[in-house]
A and B are shown apart, each in its own frame.
Chain A
Amino acid sequence: MSEEKFTDINGKPISLECRSHSSFCREFVVSAPKVSLRAVMVCTCAVWLSAYAAFFVTKNTAVLSSAIVTTLVGMMVHIHLIKIDHERLLIVGSLGVQVSSCFASGRESATFIEMSSIKDIVINEAIHMQRVIYYLCILLKEPSDPNGVSGVVPLFQSSKPRLNCLVKIYKSCQEILGQC
């Protein structure tokens, strides 16, 4: 287990955890910063203040209860569907690669790609808004053409770590891919 100071492309601190379960099985966990209390308080206060203002004008209590319901539903939707807590990459030599994202509510959505359909794991450049960033991706094999690439699966899309973090993960993955 090792943790160093890494940041994502926007400068926010993230943490990387590398676990080696065996000589051919490694797991990388990139954690994004948690939901900040300040942002939650600001949003809630904004919604409730505007609800009080509306109540003052219309004298209808339905405005207040709808504000409460909106806040609750919004928070649940945010932690269950939007806020990704950490992203995990599990690579098992000669079996495949599993990419999973865990949301703040604990929900985990995973995809498994078999080793027979993986061509390589590379670091690519991309133009994202107004800047050029690096991202790690898996190249998939084309069944008909041995030299072709049928698809690209980008990894760590929501945490977007910087190059130093990606290089570390890349070197580890290449060791395992080179074995099989």
Chain B
Amino acid sequence: MVLKIFFPQCCNRADSGLLVGRWVPGFDSVVVLAVIHYPFIPGQVKKYLSEMQSAIQLELTVLGSWSMPKDGQEGMDSFLKDLSTIFPQGRWLQLSRELGKRGFACQVIGRDAAVPPRGQPKEGGDDEKEKVIFIHYDQRKVMLSHLHPAHGQEPAAEGVSELRLVFQTVAQSQPLFFLDKYDDGPIKLTHWQSEGREASILVELIKQASVPMCCVLLRATGVRVTGSWRVLNMWPVRFVSSKLSTCVQLSHRTEHLQTISSPRRAQQHADFMRKANIFVSFLVDIALGLLLISWLYRENRIGRLANTLVPVADHVAKELQELLQWLMGAPAGLKMNRALDQVLGRFFLYHIHLWISYIHLLSPFIEMILWYVGLSACLGLTFALSVVSDIVALLTFHIYCFYVYGARIYCLKIYGLSSLWRLFRGKKWNVLRQRVDSCSYDLDQLFIGTLLFTILLFLLPTTALYYLVFTLLRLGVVLLQGFIHLMIDIINSFPLFAGGLRLFRPYRLAEGVKFKVLCEEPGMSLHLMMEINPLKLSTAVQQYRIPTYSCYPKDSWAALCKKLFVGDLIYPWTPLHKGSKED
């Protein structure tokens, strides 16, 4: 069997001492974490290791001895051999380096003190020769990195992976790396931080300030949420606020704030990434919103916007009126039913007249409303976009009403036609059995039914034309609103922190590892260099997407077309009702 020794790069030039690490359970491998230097007292080393073991919850042991010869330090070999009796282990490793050679030499001593010859890479040896592979790793990068489960595998099934155990060992041994060589203690260690711990004053200050700020934020969002529940529990307010995308966005962001401001530190990597992503996207959102405000409130742009809004609404209304006049005449050469045409046309024209009067009533206040509403962009660009979406929805409310009227009339007509068509053929819809059965009708039933059928059939083209025109208009508005909502969704859900981490610190998100064979010398064991293979950017973005209230249409294209044909109302998006929170 081949013994794999994971050796940190920082200890390549360490002075002679004891190797401290962990034997990986279930595999024939060992992870070296640090080197304890001479002089040391064995009793204190054992005490330190048992303290560390209880702190880290890992089985840290003394693995063996490390000898790096320097001038004037001969005679270490016999001293090193005696150490194995002080620290009784199952296997004792004796690693040594020679001056002028790049490879390591390793001797493995079993518990029964049988000493096999040095590990030779040549063929034709005995079966008892222990072959050794040295795998060099960068301790800091492996400690900070998170190994993601392979594509398509659940995390639970990955428990027996050797590399995962190695990564976990190094990551969990952080307390071991707190002692550096400037500490006055009985133990002198070499690891990646033994030159002294580095930290940034800003980061430490932010860490200290974050806890009280989190408590304040939590208190603030909690108060706002509970205080307004009484008002929001009334049905009309709840209904309206579920339709307005601004309110939905507001509740979404409040949830995010609550997630960020929880005072408990994130234990799992996924929780930490989620919090960080939400925080960064929140900051970027607010920054973009403030940028928008600074651009919008200059040079009286609000005033100009308000001044163009009413003429635009007027223009839209005029176009609609012309459209209706066209429909009331002979649109595209089709001959309509005169009476029905006039009724529907006048009905819709009256609606437009009402709408325009309301707009004109509001026109002196529009600038002020816009000015105050524009200030809400300081809460984030997503708010500004949702306000725009709501304004579009309000301004095209009459198109929505026309669509609903047209769709309802058309829908009734289609149902009536289908049921009377069945009567025409002598059949009936059996509600109990949910199928079509034959039925014998009386003569007067047949007479009235056929009459009504003929009337509805000949009125169908007129209604269908109105339905078609208003559905197309409504679809246009829906497309525009859908585009705005898509932008909002992208800003809400894009994981900026994960993307930035992948670009600037790629070793922190690891998909796997890469090995490189280091140049070998004859007579020495195999040395490999283990590097971290970072996650692909697309995978990182996909995995760490922030979940949103995702208002994508639930219907497929076929179902949508069927609904349009039959006349069912289409709701392109229904924001998820946050009813569960009120329980």
Mark contacts of A106-144 with chain B using CB atoms, 8 A cut-off: 1 yes-contact digit, 0 otherwise. Answer: 000011101011000000000000000000000000010
Contact partners of B130 in chain A: CB under 8 A: none
Which of A19-27, A36-44, A49-57 makes up part of the contact surface?
Answer: A19-27
Which of A6-14, A68-76, A92-100 makes up part of the contact surface?
Answer: A92-100
A23 and B122 form a contact (CB under 8 A): yes
A22 to B28 alpha-carbon distance, docked (Å): 18
A22 to B135 alpha-carbon distance, docked (Å): 14
A27 and B161 form a contact (CB under 8 A): no
Which of B409-417, B488-496, B514-522 makes up part of the contact surface?
Answer: B514-522
Nearest A residue (CB) for B518: A21
Contact partners of B133 in chain A: CB under 8 A: 25, 92, 95
Instruction: Select one of B123, B163, B512, B528 contacting A23, CB under 8 A.
Output: B123
B526 at the interface (CB under 8 A from A): yes
Nearest A residue (CB) for B517: A21
Find residues 480-520 in chain B having any chain A CB closer than 8 Å to their own CB. 512-515, 517, 520
Contact partners of A25 in chain B: CB under 8 A: 133, 517, 526
A46 at the interface (CB under 8 A from B): no
Number of interface residues of B (CB under 8 A): 25
A24 to B528 alpha-carbon distance, docked (Å): 13
A27 to B135 alpha-carbon distance, docked (Å): 17
A112 and B533 form a contact (CB under 8 A): yes
A90 at the interface (CB under 8 A from B): yes
Interface size class of A (residues with CB under 8 A): 20 to 34
Find residues 403-445 in chain B having any chain A CB closer than 8 Å to their own CB. none
Of B2, B520, B533, most buried by chain A (CB within 10 Å of CB) is B2
Mark contacts of B512-543 with chain A using CB atoms, 8 A cut-off: 1 yes-contact digit, 0 otherwise. Answer: 11110100100001101000010000000000
B283 at the interface (CB under 8 A from A): no
The smallest beta-carbon distance between A141 and chain B, in angstroms, is 11
B517 and A94 form a contact (CB under 8 A): no
B520 and A112 form a contact (CB under 8 A): no
A111 to B512 alpha-carbon distance, docked (Å): 7
Contact partners of B525 in chain A: CB under 8 A: 22
Q: A25-B526, A112-B515, A112-B533 are in contact. Are A93 and B2 (CB under 8 A)?
A: yes
A24 to B515 alpha-carbon distance, docked (Å): 15
Contact partners of B514 in chain A: CB under 8 A: 98, 100, 110, 112
A180 at the interface (CB under 8 A from B): yes
A95 to B533 alpha-carbon distance, docked (Å): 16
Contact partners of A114 in chain B: CB under 8 A: 161-163
A112 and B512 form a contact (CB under 8 A): yes
Contact partners of B203 in chain A: CB under 8 A: none
Mark contacts of B109-141 with chain A using CB atoms, 8 A cut-off: 1 yes-contact digit, 0 otherwise. Answer: 000000000000111000000010101000000
Contact partners of A110 in chain B: CB under 8 A: 514, 533
Question: Can you list 10 A-B pairs with a CB-CB distance of less than 8 A?
Answer: A22-B121, A90-B515, A92-B515, A92-B528, A95-B528, A112-B513, A114-B161, A114-B163, A116-B161, A143-B157
Q: Taking A92-B515, A95-B515, A117-B161 as given, write out 14 further A-B residue pairs in contact, using a Cβ cutoff of 8 Å, ordered by the A residue number.
A: A21-B526, A22-B131, A22-B525, A22-B526, A23-B122, A24-B526, A27-B517, A92-B528, A93-B2, A94-B1, A98-B514, A111-B533, A114-B162, A143-B157
